[in-house]
Structure 1
Amino acid sequence: MKLEVGDMVELKKQHPCGNHTFEILRTGADFRIKCIKCERQVWIDRATLEKRIKKVIEK
């Protein structure tokens, strides 16, 4: 899956704040994503992130 910094993704599982939309801040073996609603940053590995993505919203 081709993901780039700045892309917005909608995940299947929601963040504890109730939001599904995240922004990608860093790519590689591990990703750093930021919740759009509460701005909390989360580190997640590539395999887990690719399983949880519902759809990709480009820049």
Structure 2
Amino acid sequence: MRDYQAALERLRKDAAEAALIRDLATVPAKREMFDRLALHLTNLADQVELAMIEASNKTAKRA
């Protein structure tokens, strides 16, 4: 589970960095690309977090 947690933290950090670059970008095309990247990374992080919760719930039900 630690691997998932590390991946989740990395995705959240990368999403925040992409959002920061988006906010600092002056070229509209760059701003749009980093906005899409931030959203994509956030969605991936949300999916990893959901998978972790589901796995934890399955483990708890077995016990």
- Tell me the TM-score normalized by structure 2: 0.22
State the structure with more CA Rg: 2
- Tell me the TM-score normalized by structure 1: 0.22
The structure whose residues are more often helix, as a share, is: 2
